[in-house]
Amino acid sequence: MTGALTSTVRRFLDSDIWYKFRRDPIVIVATIIGLILILSSAFAPLFAPHSPFDLKTLNLSDAFTPPAWIEAGKAQFLLGTDDQGRDVLSTIMYGSRASLVVGFAAVLLSMVVGITLGLISGYFGGALDAFIMRVADVQLSFPAILIALLISGVARVVIPNSQHDQVAIYVLIFAIAASGWVQYARTVRGSTLVERNKEYVQAARVIGRRPLAIMFAHVLPNVLGPVMVLATLHIGTAIITEATLSYLGVGMPATQPTLGTMIRIGGDFLLSGEWWILWFPGLALVVLVLSINIIGDWLRDALNPKLR
Amino acid sequence: MLAFIARRLLQSILVMLTVGFIAFSLFNFVGDPVSLMLPPEATQADRDEVRKSLGLDKPFYTQFAVFVQNALQGNFGISLRLGRPVSQLLTERLPATLELVGVATLLALLVGIPVGIYTALKRDHWSSQLLLTGSLIGVSLPNFLIGIFLIVIFAVWLGILPSFGRGDTTQLGFWSTGFLTVSGLKAVILPAVTLGFYPVTLIMRLVRSEMLEVLRTDYIKFARARGLSNQAVHFGHALKNTLVPVITITGLQLGGLIAFAIITETVFQWPGMGLLFIQAVQFADIPVMAAYLCLIGFIFVTINLIVDTLYYVVDPRLRMETSSAGGH
Amino acid sequence: MSSTPAVPLLQVKNLRIEFPTRRGNLTAVDDISFDIAAGEVLGVVGESGAGKSLTGAAVIGLLEPPGRIANGEILLAGRRIDNLPFEELRKIRGREIGAIFQDPLTSLNPLYTIGRQIIETIETHLDLTHAQARARAIELLNEVGIPAADRRIDHYPHQFSGGMRQRVVISLALAANPKLIIADEPTTALDVSIQAQIITLIKKLCREHGTAVMLVTHDMGVIAETADRVAVMYAGRIAEIGPVAEVIHSPQHPYTIGLMGAIPSVGDAHERLAQIDGSMPRLSAIPKGCAFNPRCTRVNDVPNHRCTTERPELLPAGKTKAACWLHVSAAAQTDKQAVTA
């Protein structure tokens, strides 16, 4: 067991991917920063100096405290506080957590739906394939943000007002996922079409095994690379989409801040001089997405040397 | 040629029917069309009356047919929030959005294509690497944040450009344009730059990767072997082949940009269709949402048709295959 | 400007082509030398990966990075061309050295008429007006056997069949009347029935124009029909080089002997074709000594394990030159001066 593990590790250390990774300082920096951001938000309750959800610790008289290095700042609020007296640094940590959860969950959902539909489409072909691909075409004619907006708009009508806040996160995940499955489906479908006519699939059919299951096992390794690249870049897009929806006021409620919500709140105080409420969450968002995109972009090049 | 266009038209109609069906479902199943049409104090008799006048007692497909018929005449009902016909609201807002998207697209093409070519031809030069990394930052910046950033610099700090609105507009028939006044021209700069940011990075990366792909082909290698100058190889041969797929994707992006303008219009309070739509979403104004969806779908389909025709003009293989299909 | 008759048209001296990789340099072409005289057809034959196409690309200055010339010289009519600045080299391409590539389907830009592509080549190299260039283009198309050339000149590549397109490619290679043509597998992508026509055409045109040809192919039959001399390449080295009749009828290198044994001849149809066991080594694992030694049946005929320890030089053997220890020992004993001459 450990032998297998060490050999896997050794193979990885010897692989081209690892070699290319070590020689690219920008990706290393992006990975480190990305990991710091993800870990600090995942363990926000441990690291955050304050809890933005604990109403007892909030004090409105602390509101609008500037960052600690400015004269009126207080040492306990390193990046200042917002209009409610919440510590900006802690809110960023909790906010990125919500952003990341939404982003990862949406990508995972898109991926599962996309891979399944792509496999079905490629394997069965015919009318089913034509139908799925036409739906994909129609969907591609609308930008992700519009589809997400429509879904959350419909959800507002269908779901009673009192439950809006509880289900907001699920609506958001669904809305973002619904706009992203097409690319996975297309990639997997293409690869399935290639595999379908190979002999092992015919053989499996002859001996009465379920070809779909076998194909899944064979198609998956082939599409793993492109799907991983798509997923990484998609996480960046999903986080931006979430932030945008929250900024537009149709995402997460103000009681469960995400980075987008914080930026929306900060926007109200931009002209009155409390710049830190906007720019620190904004910076956190950009750095987070940028590091994820750098990794995704690098991954694409590393897995596909032809596209240098 | 005719068969080609006929096929495309058929596809477009199918897409429009699908989009129309989604809009119809929104209208009929999500929102309750009867209460959408009536004041809250209406009686049951009123409701039945409206049900009948809307044809809601008819079978489902008849209802859809009526919806399509109405939609074709531009009739999408009354906005819940503003109490005015939706078609009227959209027509008022259309010029603002189209002018914004037009300027942004022009900007994206004028910057994206040359920079893309440059980074492909000088692919190992440090400036290309810098531009590439820069484009990645561009992709990672949320659109609304770019808008806010530009407002802070040019409106708040420097005070040279307006932070919101369209400036003074001139009415030309039904079209209200901001291009004829100084304040209108100044007002479009920041929103257009904001909206153009993403397509610039996209077009640049697309042009670069397509060009690199083309530069690897045999006919480019052969063109070099024939001793043609770099100028002739790059701009005579590679560029044209590069631009064929770029046309398609840019065209498709254009349709997306109109919807993408929702964000920019919100940040700059630009009085276009996007701002109307986002307010509709916030207030669950179903008729406006449905009509906007149909309009975006229609614009997308139209652009698609134009792009296909362009493609057809540029690529001789396409032209020939269809015209000589019977000859072989 | 014309070279003295003593100087061959093309001289390749000690050419080495390397590909830098993370695990060190791979040597794809290792220290090869050969000449081509004016008007001569040199066939270069070998399995895929033997380095023959790379050699052709190096001569015309179109090695694709990261491949690079690590050592050696290439001289055209006595003038060194492998280290020329880009602009100088560009003027040689098409003008002095023409090229024909393997796949006529992809060698032509699909978006331009063949006429435009021929005319631009002519105008690049020759001082002609557009009308003159067009007239010359039609003349060239006629010459390569395109019917109704004055009409066909305005057609796009996809309107021609594969064989016709290769004729267009040939007319492009000849457009500026070069002294040498590098033909890299010019018939491989074509139907068998068309191959012979194209080969005959290349041979005929080059004889008429006095053009020398470096004909790169894996097809011994094509070589036998066309070439004056032939170079057999194996694992980046020349195994044997000599007049085509000699190499075919009395090959000296065991690899060449094996290669000839693998060609069917009409006379003995019922005889089983010989085959060489094993396959060519990968570039990263070329054996020490003679690259062919793991597959050679005669390793043990050479004393002192020389085949597995020392690389043999290309030396006269019979009426050809071969890089094989079997012949070196014999040659060295008989006449040492012949080596240096």
Whether C3 is in a domain gets the answer yes
Q: Which of C176, C208, C228 is the last residue of a domain?
A: C176
Q: State whether C21 and C75 are in the same domain.
A: yes
Q: Which two tokens stand for residue C209?
A: 């124009």
Q: Average pLDDT of A35-62?
A: 75
Distance CA A94, CA B198 (A): 28
Shortest distance between the Cα of A240 and any Cα of chain B, in A, equals 6
Q: Is the pLDDT of residue A52 over 60?
A: yes
Of residues A82 and B9, more confidence is placed in B9
What's residue C133's pLDDT? 92
Q: Average pLDDT of B116-121?
A: 91
Give the rounded percent of residues in chain B with a pLDDT score beyond 90. 14
Of residues B73 and A160, more confidence is placed in B73
- The pLDDT-based confidence of C339 (bands split at 50, 70, 90) is very low
The three-class DSSP label of residue C76 is strand
Identify the structural domains of chain B with CATH numbers, from first to last: 2-72 (no CATH), 88-320 (1.10.3720.10)
Q: Is the pLDDT of residue C285 over 60?
A: yes
- The pLDDT-based confidence of A66 (bands split at 50, 70, 90) is confident
Q: Average pLDDT of A144-169?
A: 79
Q: Is the pLDDT of residue A143 over 50?
A: yes
Of residues B317 and C146, more confidence is placed in C146
Q: Is the pLDDT of residue A113 over 90?
A: yes
Cβ distance of B227 and C91 shorter than 8 Å = yes
Which of B229, B236, B317 faces C158 most closely, judged by CB atoms? B317
- Of A27-31, A180-184, B252-256, the one with minimum mean pLDDT is B252-256
C116 in contact with B at a CB cutoff of 8 Å? no
Q: Which two tokens stand for residue C105?
A: 């389907």
Q: Which two tokens stand for residue C210?
A: 């006095």
A249 in contact with B at a CB cutoff of 8 Å? yes
What's residue A211's pLDDT? 67
Whether C273 is in a domain gets the answer no
CATH number of the domain enclosing C209: 3.40.50.300
In three-state form (DSSP H/G/I as H, E/B as E, the rest C), the secondary structure along C5-64 is: CCCCCEEEEEEEEEEEECCEEEEEEEEEEEEECCCCEEEEECCCCCCHHHHHHHHCCCCC
User: What is the tens place of the pLDDT at every residue in B281-299?
Assistant: 877 788 888 888 888 888 8
Sole residue written with tokens 């652009």: B303
What's residue C1's pLDDT? 44
Q: State whether C59 and C192 are in the same domain.
A: yes
Specify which of A294-308, B13-27, B233-247, B258-272 reaches the highest per-range mean pLDDT: B258-272
Q: Is the pLDDT of residue C84 over 70?
A: yes
What's residue A106's pLDDT? 93
The structural domain count of chain C equals 3
The ipTM (two decimal places) reads: 0.82
Q: Average pLDDT of C249-262?
A: 82
Which of A152, A244, A271 faces B156 most closely, judged by CB atoms? A271
Which chain B residues have a beta carbon less than 8 Å from that of A270? Answer: 148, 151-152, 156
Q: State whether C115 and C154 are in the same domain.
A: yes
Shortest distance between the Cα of B196 and any Cα of chain C, in A, equals 30
- The pLDDT-based confidence of C28 (bands split at 50, 70, 90) is confident
The three-class DSSP label of residue B242 is helix
Q: State whether C168 and C112 are in the same domain.
A: yes
Q: State whether C65 and C196 are in the same domain.
A: yes
Q: Average pLDDT of C81-95?
A: 88
Do C322 and C333 form a contact (C-beta atoms < 8 A)?
no
Q: Average pLDDT of A126-142?
A: 81
Q: State whether C300 and C152 are in the same domain.
A: no
Q: Which of C160, C176, C192 is the last residue of a domain?
A: C176
Closest-CA residue of chain B to A271 = B156
Q: State whether C184 and C323 are in the same domain.
A: no
Looking at chain C, which runs of residues are DSSP E strands? 10-21, 24-36, 41-45, 68-76, 79-80, 97-100, 180-184, 212-217, 229-234, 237-243, 315-317, 320-322
Q: State whether C210 and C298 are in the same domain.
A: no
Q: State whether C132 and C210 are in the same domain.
A: no
Q: State whether C113 and C237 are in the same domain.
A: no
A229 in contact with B at a CB cutoff of 8 Å? no
Q: Average pLDDT of A222-243?
A: 86
Pairing relation of β-strands C79-80 and C68-76? antiparallel
- The pLDDT-based confidence of C213 (bands split at 50, 70, 90) is very high
Subunits adjacent to chain C (3 or more Cβ pairs under 8 Å)? B
Closest CA to C50 of C182, C185, C169: C185
Distance CA A84, CA C188 (A): 77
Q: Is the pLDDT of residue C58 over 80?
A: yes
What's residue C300's pLDDT? 80
> Is the torsion defined by CA of B67, B68, B71, B72 positive or negative?
negative
Q: Interior CA angle at A256 toward A142 and A171, to 5°?
A: 35
Q: Is the pLDDT of residue B323 over 50?
A: no
Domain locations in chain A as residue ranges: 35-307
C159 CB-contact burial (10 Å; exposed 0-12 / middle 13-18 / buried 19+): middle
Q: Is the pLDDT of residue A101 over 70?
A: yes
Q: For chain A, what is the mean pLDDT?
A: 80
Give the rounded percent of residues in chain C with a pLDDT score beyond 70. 90
Neighbours of C73 (CB within 10 A): 15
Q: State whether C74 and C4 are in the same domain.
A: yes
Q: What is the CATH number of domain A35-307?
A: 1.10.3720.10
Q: For chain C, what is the mean pLDDT?
A: 84
What's residue A108's pLDDT? 94
What's residue C338's pLDDT? 46
Q: Average pLDDT of C141-162?
A: 90
Q: Average pLDDT of C274-296?
A: 80
- The pLDDT-based confidence of C2 (bands split at 50, 70, 90) is very low
Q: Which of C157, C176, C195 is the last residue of a domain?
A: C176
Q: Is the pLDDT of residue B52 over 80?
A: no
CA B91 → CA A166, B97, B188, B273, B304, distances in Å?
38, 10, 19, 9, 22
Whether C275 is in a domain gets the answer no
Residue C153: domain span = 108-176
- Residue to mutate among B121, B124, B213, B226, with most C CBs inside 10 A, is B226
